Amino acid sequence: MKDRKNKGGRPALENKKRFRINVRFDETEHKRVLKNAETAGMSKSEWVRKSAVRCNAMTAS
């Protein structure tokens, strides 16, 4: 059997993101997301992801 050589490339992530949720924003919401992400020094995706995980959403009564 031949030995496989590591060809290099990007290493695999430990916690790979496997799920996707598509979200739509109106113009005002989108501008707010952009501003908040820039202020936090994050990408849009990272800011939305972290905000969603940390948020305590209220449930409908």
pLDDT the model gives residue 57: 60
Q: What does the pLDDT look like over 6-60, one tens digit per residue? A: 778 888 888 888 899 999 999 999 999 999 999 999 999 999 999 988 876 655 5
Residues 30, 33, 35, 37, CA torsion sign: negative
* Domain locations along the chain: 25-49
SS (H, E, C) 9-60: CCCCCCCCCCCCCCCCCCHHHHHHHHHHHHHHCCCHHHHHHHHHHHCCCCCC
Categorize the per-residue pLDDT at 1 as very low, low, confident or very high, splitting at 50, 70 and 90.
Answer: low
pLDDT the model gives residue 2: 64
Report the predicted TM-score, pTM, of the whole model to 2 decimal places.
0.65
Q: How far apart are CA 10 and CA 24, in angstroms?
A: 31
CA-derived radius of gyration, the chain: 18
